[in-house]
Amino acid sequence: MAYSLAERRILVTGGNGFLGSHLCQWLRDAGCAQVHAPRSRDCDLRDGQQIDQLLRDFEPQVVIHLAAVVGGIGANRRNPGRYFYENALMGIQLIEACRRQQVEKFVGLATICSYPKHTPVPFREDELWSGYPEETNAPYGLAKKMLLFQAQAYRQQYGMNAITLFPVNLYGPRDNFDPDSSHVIPALIRKFIEAREAGSDYVQVWGTGSASREFLYVEDAAEAIGLAAERYESPEPMNLGSGREITIRELADLLREFCGYCGEIRWDSSKPDGQPRRCLDVSRAAREIGFTAKTDFETGIRRTIDLETPCPVA
């Protein structure tokens, strides 16, 4: 029987961010009247005392942990220590505080970056521990993988109802278009639109274009998280994705067309491609929570471009 979220007090960390804002909207549309999404200025999750105070004040029955310090390949290369420390610290302290406060259910969001660099495609959840992650985002991926281990250990020792979800790369409206920290889709959209407006002859893109990625539209991801919070009770990790793989070269050509840019794409092979391939086995999510991505990739890209006008960061 599904666990009814509508009757619970739900705390969403990172609830004002890209994914979090869509998840909070999904929860409210699903009839959840008590959804709390504090901003980082109101509760610093790196501070254990502030976490304890937050849980005492709101008394959540469900905690969905989305908050993370994250960025693209460049940001990961510049901040390996920060990305490991802050992501591990936030999650470890929050899970422990939820245990002490006897929160009914904890939903943790991990990352596809946790998978080994050369995971066989499609990525199955039981391959998570079969190797070391791709080097450029290993600190972030390893920090998140430790939270999976913590959730499983706490379930074993304390009976804590904690689940861990592994979403693939997300995209959609309200994404981060900051060129210093954005992921590939918003970064390329911004590049192509700015190049179109400036009349530039070419756009330079990192890598060779040979790497592949899978993408999940953010509204679909929000639905998947909500369904998992209601229906999933297993300690085993669960992938969330669309099941479609596309190379970065194919992606760049598609985005160039949709952004109306007619110039050349120049590939900078001196920059890293990141993980060679990414594509998930999503059969567990289909089987356990009835989730299948609804948004066609081209439709989602057009919505993202139509609803966003990336502009320089002030």
pTM for the predicted model, two decimal places: 0.93
Task: Confirm whether 206 is domain-assigned.
Answer: no
Does the residue 72 lie in any domain?
Answer: yes
Q: Is 180 part of any domain?
A: no
Q: Which domain holds residue 238?
A: 9-171+216-243+279-294
For residue 183, tell me if it sits in a domain: no
221 in a domain, yes or no? yes
- 279 phi, psi to nearest 5 deg: -160, 130
- Residue 214, CA atoms < 13 Å, CB-side half-sphere: 25
The rounded distance, in Å, linking the Cα atoms of 221 and 224 is 5
- CATH code for position 151: 3.40.50.720
What are the residues whose beta carbons fall under 8 Å from the beta carbon of 289, sequence distance 6 or more?
224, 227, 228, 230, 231, 232, 238
Burial label, 33 (beta-carbon count in 10 A; 0-12, 13-18, 19+): exposed
From the list 141, 295, 155, the residue with the least C-alpha distance to 234 is 155
Residue 305 within any structural domain of the chain: no
Supply the residues annotated as catalytic.
140
Name the residue among 22, 67, 86, 51 with its Cα closest to residue 295: 22
Q: Is residue 177 part of a domain?
A: no
- Please count the structural domains in the chain: 1
CA angle 66, 188, 267 (to 5 degrees): 125
Strands across the sheet containing 212-217: 169-171, 212-217, 245-247
159 within a domain of the structure (yes/no): yes
Per-residue pLDDT of the chain (314 residues; tens, 9 = 90+): 567 999 999 999 999 999 999 999 999 999 999 999 999 999 999 999 999 999 999 999 999 999 999 877 788 889 999 999 999 999 999 999 999 999 999 999 999 999 999 999 999 999 999 999 999 889 999 999 999 999 999 999 999 999 999 999 999 999 989 877 788 999 999 999 999 999 999 999 999 999 999 999 999 999 999 999 999 999 999 999 999 999 999 999 999 999 999 999 999 999 988 889 999 999 999 999 999 999 999 999 999 999 875 443 32
Beta-bridge partner residues of 163: 107
**∠ at Cα 275 (265, 268), nearest 5°?**
25
